[in-house]
């Protein structure tokens, strides 16, 4: 038995708990001790559920049969905009906090039903709007380099997993909010396709853009987490057949392009694909001229509608958020948000993969180095918008199209930060994307945690 379960994978923990080699109570206590001792390094958590998590871990241990629980005793962190019964829903700041939820979101119910124990909620930027994570109470930091952001908006979840505070964490992704933090922090991050996992985030779910997913250190953990959220029985990933993969460096945002480190990450991934037996060809998906403007308008209006639904239009939000909502009200009232535009791009995107053209698309995950970890929430709206678009332009189109997309690590950049790429597929290709990521993991294994994490000085609990 290890001195501590901190640093173990979700599958290792669940297997040990199911076999009786460890108790959920012991595993959760180890992680809560570690979080309390070390979260001040990265500021990943908004709040812990200390007593509640201990009680729920004991309930897992008391079950007579654990064999049906794929996440038995696994400590999991939830992004703070997802309702958990008995907790407020913060939405990125004290000003954006909603009342205490009286019921769990469906993804929370599914995680609990699989035996997971929710240890706390992780930080995000206000209203989930930005690719950095901070507010006036803390700046969330990247465990790989504490002077850099872990990304956003699921930045707290990514920082928690990359530092070993939890083995897996929940995130949601409206315009890249799982995949961007996963790329910043060297994790596997999957955004499922539209309708695969229940959304239920606000009245419009950002007009169908938001999907729930998992951030993990291994493909196996990402796969079991995805299966649980999707309401499926976890199974072994199958070796994919020979695939035709389109490789594209083209940015969907005019005036932005991947830097040398991110281009090299794509080259590394392309070589791994060939080594795994797949075919690669240079090909760019269609990014219509109006996609950028329509995408921005949708981003603005989605935030406005979500804030209206949550009763936050008159809240004392950050200046950047208030301006964003004003832009959203303007775009919404002028009819700039049209479902036919989104459906048109979805059809074009599906056609890119159809008729035997390509099975998978490979792109950069980021365009630049993760932004500095600083108080972005005190900066102006335009500064935030331009910084986010230049740093992470590649993710958003696949929310608009509703296609599954995954970030996977491919080593370390020259500056010591993780290298990562994005894989995109047609509807229903989540397991294929994960299987390809599994091939990458076998051929070119990555560090599971940031250097120096989990912190070795964490004392083992007395047994």
pLDDT at 132 over 80: yes
User: Is residue 202 within 8 Å of 302, Cβ to Cβ?
Assistant: no
| Residue 67 CB-density burial (10 A; 0-12 exposed, 13-18 middle, 19+ buried) | exposed
Q: Euclidean distance between the first and final Cα of the chain, in Å?
A: 11
- The residue-averaged pLDDT of 241-270 equals 97
In a domain, 424, yes or no: yes
Confidence of residue 118 (pLDDT cuts 50, 70, 90): very high
Q: How far apart are CA 441 and CA 444, in angstroms?
A: 5
For 185-197, write each residue's pLDDT tens digit.
999 999 999 999 9
CA angle in degrees (0–180, nearest 5) for 437-198-100: 115
How many structural domains is the chain composed of? 1
Q: How far is CA 112 from CA 70, 76, 208, 383, 393, in A?
A: 11, 10, 25, 40, 34
- Cis omega (within 30 of 0) for bond into 277: no
The per-residue pLDDT for 459 is 43
Q: What is the pLDDT of residue 356?
A: 78
Q: Quick check: 43 pLDDT over 60?
A: yes
Q: Which of 153, 157, 349, 429 is catalytic?
A: 153
Query: 147: helix, coil or strand?
Result: coil
In this prediction, residues 124-133 reach a mean pLDDT of: 98
Per the residue annotation, which of 11, 79, 251, 429 is the catalytic one? 79
Question: Is residue 429 situated within a structural domain?
Answer: yes
Report the b/e string of 374-385 with b at 16+ CB within 10 A. Answer: eebbeeebeebb
Q: Which domain covers residue 418, as residue numbers? A: 10-443
Residue 153 falls in the annotated catalytic set: yes
115-129, 286-300, 361-375: least confidently modelled range: 286-300
pLDDT (0 to 100) of residue 1: 67
pLDDT at 200: 66
Please tell me which residue in 157, 163, 177, 248 is annotated as part of the active site.
177
pLDDT reported for residue 131? 98
- 217-229 exposure pattern, b = at least 16 Cβ within 10 A, e = fewer: bbbbbbbbbbbbb
CATH code at position 189 = 3.90.1300.10
Alpha carbons 91 and 88: distance in angstroms, whole number:
9
- Tell me if the pTM is above 0.75: yes
Residue 448 lies in a domain: no
Evaluate whether 91 touches 310 at the Cβ level (below 8 Å). yes
Spatial separation of the C-alpha atoms in residues 148 and 100, rounded to whole Å:
32
Q: What is the pLDDT of residue 460?
A: 42
The per-residue pLDDT for range 399-434, each reduced to its tens digit, is 999 999 999 999 999 999 999 999 999 999 999 999
pLDDT at 351: 96
- Answer yes or no: are the C-beta atoms of 389 and 292 closer than 8 Å: no
Q: How many CB atoms lie within 10 A of CB 443?
A: 13
* In a domain? residue 458: no
What share of the chain in percent tops pLDDT 90?
A: 93
**Residue 119's Cα: distance from chain center in Å?**
18
For residues 301 and 463, the model is more confident at 301
User: Residues 195-248: pLDDT tens digits?
Assistant: 999 986 544 489 999 999 999 999 999 999 999 999 999 999 999 999 999 999
- Would 1 be classed as within a structural domain? no
Q: Residues 348-389: pLDDT tens digits?
A: 999 999 877 999 999 999 999 999 999 999 999 999 999 999
Q: What is the pLDDT of residue 201?
A: 52
Q: What is the pLDDT of residues 50-86, one digit of tens each?
A: 999 999 999 999 999 999 999 999 999 999 999 999 9
On whether residue 405 sits in a domain, the answer given is yes
pLDDT tens for 146-162 read 999 999 999 999 999 99
Q: What is the pLDDT of residue 458?
A: 46
Q: Assess if residue 452 is contained within a domain.
A: no
Residue 229, classed as helix, strand or coil, is: helix
- Is the pLDDT at 180 greater than 70, yes or no? yes
Is 100's pLDDT higher than 70? yes
Give domain status of residue 461, yes or no: no
Among residues 116, 127, 121, the alpha carbon closest in space to that of 100 is found at 121
Bridge partners, residue 148, by sequence: 372
**Quick check: helix, strand or coil at residue 307?**
helix
- Average per-residue pLDDT in the chain? 95
Please tell me the total number of residues recorded for the chain in this structure.
463
Mean pLDDT value of segment 4-18: 98
Catalytic residue check, 79:
yes
Would you state the pLDDT for residue 456? 75
């Amino acid at each position: 038995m290890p001195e501590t379960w901190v640093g173990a994978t979700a599958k290792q923990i669940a297997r040990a708990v199911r076999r009786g080699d460890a108790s959920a109570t012991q595993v959760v206590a180890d992680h809560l001790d570690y979080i309390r001792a070390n979260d001040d390094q990265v500021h990943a958590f908004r709040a812990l559920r200390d007593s509640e998590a201990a009680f729920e871990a004991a309930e897992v241990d008391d079950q007579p049969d654990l064999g049906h629980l794929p996440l038995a005793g696994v400590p999991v962190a939830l992004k703070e905009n997802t309702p958990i019964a008995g907790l407020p829903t913060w939405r990125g700041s004290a000003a954006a906090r909603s009342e205490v939820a009286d019921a769990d979101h469906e993804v929370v119910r599914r995680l609990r039903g699989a035996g997971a124990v929710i240890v706390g909620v992780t930080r995000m930027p206000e209203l989930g709007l930005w690719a950095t994570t901070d507010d006036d109470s803390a700046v969330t930091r990247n465990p790989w380099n504490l002077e850099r952001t872990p990304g956003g908006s699921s930045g707290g979840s990514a920082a928690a997993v990359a530092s070993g505070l939890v083995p897996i964490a929940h995130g949601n992704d409206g315009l890249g909010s799982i995949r961007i933090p996963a790329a910043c922090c060297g994790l596997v991050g999957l955004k499922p396709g539209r309708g695969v996992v229940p959304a239920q985030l606000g009245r419009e779910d950002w007009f169908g853009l938001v999907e729930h997913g998992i951030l993990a250190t291994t493909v196996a953990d990402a796969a079991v987490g995805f299966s649980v959220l999707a309401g499926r029985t976890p199974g072994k990933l199958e070796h994919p057949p020979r695939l035709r993969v389109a490789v594209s460096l083209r940015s969907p945002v005019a005036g932005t392009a991947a830097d040398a480190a991110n281009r090299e990450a794509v080259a590394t991934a392309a070589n791994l694909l060939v080594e795994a037996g797949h075919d690669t060809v240079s090909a760019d998906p269609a990014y219509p001229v109006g996609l950028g403007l329509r995408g921005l308008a949708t981003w603005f209006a989605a935030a406005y509608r979500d804030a209206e639904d949550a009763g936050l239009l008159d809240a004392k939000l950050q200046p950047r958020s208030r301006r964003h909502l004003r832009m959203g009200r303007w775009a919404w009232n002028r009819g700039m948000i049209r479902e036919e535009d989104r459906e048109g791009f979805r059809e074009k995107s599906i056609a890119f993969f159809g008729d035997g053209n390509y099975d998978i698309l490979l792109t950069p995950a980021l365009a630049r180095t993760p932004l500095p970890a600083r108080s972005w929430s005190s900066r102006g709206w335009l500064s935030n918008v331009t910084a986010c678009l230049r740093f992470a332009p590649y993710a958003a189109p696949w929310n608009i199209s509703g296609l599954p997309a995954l970030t996977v690590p491919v080593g370390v950049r020259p500056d010591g930060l993780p290298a990562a790429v994005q894989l995109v597929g047609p509807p229903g290709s989540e397991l294929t994307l994960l299987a390809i990521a599994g091939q990458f993991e076998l051929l070119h294994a990555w560090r599971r945690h940031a250097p120096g994490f989990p912190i070795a000085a964490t004392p083992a609990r007395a047994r």
